[in-house]
């Protein structure tokens, strides 16, 4: 008999050679229908694998991230099988699970819409065939022989990169066999709902020097409801795409003369500046002192920090008078130089330095994506220098700062703690102090958190804020990192109560992350309909005809004088057209429609975005209303997708 330990701590005995799926059936038939794969002593395995010794097991469902990956990767094999059936001479490359679904790459001519429809139909057929996924382990030589005989050049290239003596796993379902480490579902019938999402070109291994392949993206779910919800969110996300809204709202532009570097238009710069203004306001409450460091600094600084050794390929460099300089990819070394330029005692600590630094990173051109992945960006950074005794209080302070800022934008979040990775620097004692400090802070904060064992940075543990937008999508945003590397490299010290030099503890933390990326997130989060305090144009003044232009201009001038961003639409267009454009295209929060009644009574018909006519207001009462909305940073209604 063998002992099986379950995640809840329950221990049961089973006969040797029992399979994971048999254990699941022993728990209950309904449970067995939901599980997709199993972790045995931390290793992912197929459900039909046998257990021969005492083990800790954890069954994975579709609700688990790893369960989704198994489900989607298995579906990618089914899709590849369908493509090979329909196009027998095609060459297959790779087909991994990704964040939302999966893809598979093929050496082929571009797929037409009719091709994709045929592939989708063939996938449904394979699902109904209830083919088993069967694993086979072979030697490197056997695997090479198998794929060479079938002229699968991409599989051969992958195998040849593996060391001699490597045991290689292959999976077969029906007539299709693929190189794969697994695990996979028990059978194709476990995939219930499938849809092809799109196709596009993609270079083999992401290198433009290699062959252009054709990539098919797909998605699959256990239920129709989950597929329908995904497609609904995807459709809404396409409408909210920040690149599209950036053009429509005149926020920013990109040009080939400066790839990956956004050019801010007037409207976009208003939002950018308001984000920074709010950032400064909140940091001032917590006694941060804002600094500014140079964009270009000597290579020797980056050698000392370790960035040159580990980050060289992402740095832009220049030579000046025989010295090599780096255009900074991050702000921390400059902040440390400023801290070290003064002598601090323990009474002066903690010192909180904040910076909006213009950074540059040499990202691969194929990875550039609107504001989400750029080469030039502004990092909202801060570095806190403190004693070990300050760790808990400072972490709690940072968490509270982040929480109130994200609340202002209507962004929910959850916290994740990442601990010491296998490859790390620093003493065991230093790591223990750092991790205990972060845990104590999180426990005291009391919101709960997920632990990612071994996923910290090589120089220290970290806390990540995973924010959730109006569509329920998750984004990695704020991060709090304890660093034991740079204080050592730069000899960052303070004078303690005994007049001795002691090593300072350093926190790196970014709230927005990069302002460019955060701007992209909130454009999509609000769908371009910004809160009044962020909106580039807050009020549109719309005369119903030319006869009221003079009076409407007076109203517009008063709004400008009162500090509001307004526009005066005196075009000779129909009033209905001007209202629709202000609301649906420009997404202006408020519209004042001015005609005979407004001029005679001094009461204005007010329209609000997504609400329509909200009644009549005297000018002062309207100003008071929008002034309160602006000052309290009230969130607009209707920006969240009803799920």
pLDDT value, residue 434: 85
Tell me 582's DSSP state: I
**Is the CATH number of domain 539-631 3.40.50.800?**
yes
Say how many CA atoms lie within 13 Å of 37 toward its Cβ.
25
pLDDT value, residue 426: 76
pTM of the predicted structure, to 2 decimals? 0.86
Q: Domain limits of the chain? A: 2-60, 65-232, 252-526, 539-631
pLDDT value, residue 457: 80
Phi/psi at 426 (5° precision)? 100, 165
- Residue found by looking up tokens 């924010």 in the block: 467
pLDDT value, residue 68: 97
**b/e burial code for range 600-632 (CB count within 10 A of at least 16 → b):** eeeebbbbbbeeeeeeebebeebbebbeebbee
Helix (H, G, I), strand (E, B) or coil at 425: coil
- Residue found by looking up tokens 């080469």 in the block: 375
- The domain 2-60 is placed in CATH, from the list 1.10.3720.10, 2.60.40.10, 3.10.20.30, 3.40.50.300, at 3.10.20.30
Cα separations (Å) of 272 from 3, 269, 342, 356, 512? 59, 5, 33, 12, 12
The helix-helix angle for 153-160 and 140-149 (nearest 10°) equals: 160
- The domain 252-526 is placed in CATH, from the list 3.40.50.620, 3.90.180.10, 3.30.930.10, 3.40.50.2000, at 3.30.930.10
The sign of the torsion formed by the CA atoms of 365, 368, 373, 375 equals positive
Torsion of CA 265, 271, 274, 278, to 10 degrees: -140
Q: 539, 564 in Cβ contact below 8 A?
A: yes
Helix (H, G, I), strand (E, B) or coil at 98: strand
Please list the rounded mean pLDDT of every run of 10 residues in the chain (643 residues).
Answer: 90 93 95 96 94 94 96 98 96 95 96 97 97 96 95 96 92 96 96 96 89 97 96 94 96 95 97 98 97 96 88 90 92 96 96 96 85 94 94 94 96 94 81 88 92 85 93 91 88 96 94 95 96 98 93 96 96 92 95 90 90 92 96 92 76
Q: 460, 434 in Cβ contact below 8 A?
A: yes
Contacts (Cβ under 8 Å, ≥6 apart) of 298: 323, 324, 325, 326
- Residue found by looking up tokens 């382990």 in the block: 137
Phi/psi at 621 (5° precision)? -70, -35
pLDDT value, residue 40: 95
Angle at 572 between CA 569 and CA 575, to 5 degrees: 65
Phi/psi at 519 (5° precision)? -60, -45
CA distance 129 to 174: 9
Run of H or E residues at 304: helix 299-305
Count CB atoms within 10 A of the CB of residue 303: 15
Cα separations (Å) of 216 from 86, 105, 110, 472? 14, 7, 10, 25
- Residue 304: name the closest of 340, 327, 333 by CA: 333
Tell me 177's DSSP state: E
Phi/psi at 419 (5° precision)? -100, -170
Cα separations (Å) of 562 from 9, 599, 607? 65, 20, 20
pLDDT value, residue 15: 92
Count CB atoms within 10 A of the CB of residue 525: 24
CATH architecture, range 65-232: 2-Layer Sandwich (3.30)
CA distance 597 to 354: 52
Q: 372, 256 in Cβ contact below 8 A?
A: no
pLDDT value, residue 309: 84
Q: 457, 499 in Cβ contact below 8 A?
A: no
Phi-psi group of 174: left, alpha or beta (phi > 0 → left; psi -120 to 50 → alpha; rest → beta): left
């Amino acid at each position: 008999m063998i002992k099986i330990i379950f995640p809840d701590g329950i221990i049961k005995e089973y006969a040797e050679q029992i399979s994971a799926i048999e254990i699941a059936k022993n728990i209950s038939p309904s449970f067995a229908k939901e599980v997709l794969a199993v972790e045995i002593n931390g290793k992912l395995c197929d459900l039909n694998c046998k257990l021969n010794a005492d083990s800790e097991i954890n069954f994975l469902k579709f609700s688990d991230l790893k369960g989704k990956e198994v489900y989607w990767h298995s579906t990618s094999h089914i899709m590849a099988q369908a493509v090979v059936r329909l196009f027998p001479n095609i060459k297959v490359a790779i087909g991994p699970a990704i964040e939302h679904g999966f893809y598979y790459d093929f050496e082929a001519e571009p797929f037409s819409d009719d091709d994709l429809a045929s592939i989708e139909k063939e996938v449904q057929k394979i699902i109904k065939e209830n083919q088993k996924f069967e694993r086979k382990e072979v030697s490197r030589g056997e695997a090479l022989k198998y794929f060479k005989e079938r002229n699968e050049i991409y599989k051969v290239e992958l195998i040849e990169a593996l060391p001699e003596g490597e045991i290689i796993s292959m999976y077969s379902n029906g007539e299709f066999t693929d190189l794969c480490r697994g695990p996979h579902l028990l059978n194709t019938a476990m995939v219930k709902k499938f849809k092809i999402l799109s196709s596009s070109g993609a270079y083999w291994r992401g290198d433009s020097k290699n062959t252009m392949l054709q990539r098919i993206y797909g998605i699959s779910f256990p239920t129709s409801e989950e597929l329908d919800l995904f497609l609904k969110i995807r459709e809404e996300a396409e409408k909210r795409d920040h690149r599209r809204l950036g053009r429509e709202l005149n926020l920013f532009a990109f040009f080939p003369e400066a790839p990956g570097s956004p050019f801010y238009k007037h409207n976009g710069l208003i939002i950018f500046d308001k984000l920074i203004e709010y950032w400064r306001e909140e940091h001032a409450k917590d006694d941060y002192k804002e600094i500014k460091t140079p964009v270009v600094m000597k290579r020797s600084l980056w050698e000392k920090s370790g960035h040159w050794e580990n980050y060289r390929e992402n740095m832009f460099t220049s030579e000046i008078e025989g010295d090599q300089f780096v255009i900074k990819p991050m702000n921390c070394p400059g902040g440390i130089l400023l801290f070290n330029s003064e002598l601090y005692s323990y009474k002066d600590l903690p010192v909180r330095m904040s910076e909006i630094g213009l950074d540059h990173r040499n990202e691969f051109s194929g990875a550039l994506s609107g504001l989400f992945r750029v080469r030039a960006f502004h990092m909202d950074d801060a570095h806190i220098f403190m004693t070990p005794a300050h760790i808990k209080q400072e972490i709690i302070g940072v968490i509270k700062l982040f929480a109130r800022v994200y609340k202002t934008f209507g962004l929910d979040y959850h916290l994740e703690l990442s601990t010491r990775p296998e490859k790390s620097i620093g003493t065991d004692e230093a790591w223990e102090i750092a991790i205990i400090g972060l845990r104590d802070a999180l426990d005291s904060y009391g919101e709960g958190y997920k632990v990612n064992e071994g996923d910290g940075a090589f120089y220290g543990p970290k806390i990540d804020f995973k924010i959730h937008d109006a569509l329920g999508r998750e984004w990695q945003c704020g991060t709090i990192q304890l660093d034991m590397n740079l204080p050592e490299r730069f000899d960052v010290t303070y004078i303690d109560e005994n007049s001795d030099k002691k090593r300072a503890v350093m926190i790196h933390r970014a709230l927005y992350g990069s302002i460019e990326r955060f701007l992209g997130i909130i454009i999509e989060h609000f769908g371009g309909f910004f809160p009044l305090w962020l909106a580039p144009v807050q009020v549109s003044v719309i005369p119903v005809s030319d006869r009221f232009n003079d009076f409407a201009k007076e109203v517009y001038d008063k709004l400008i004088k009162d500090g509001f961003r307004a526009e005066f639409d005196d075009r000779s267009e129909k009033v209905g057209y001007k209202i629709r454009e202000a609301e649906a295209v420009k997404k202006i929060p408020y519209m004042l429609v001015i005609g005979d009644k407004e001029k005679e009574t001094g009461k204005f018909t007010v329209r609000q975005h997504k609400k329509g006519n909200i009644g009549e207001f005297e000018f002062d009462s309207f100003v008071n209303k929008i002034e309160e909305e602006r000052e309290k940073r009230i969130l607009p209604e209707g920006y969240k997708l009803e799920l």
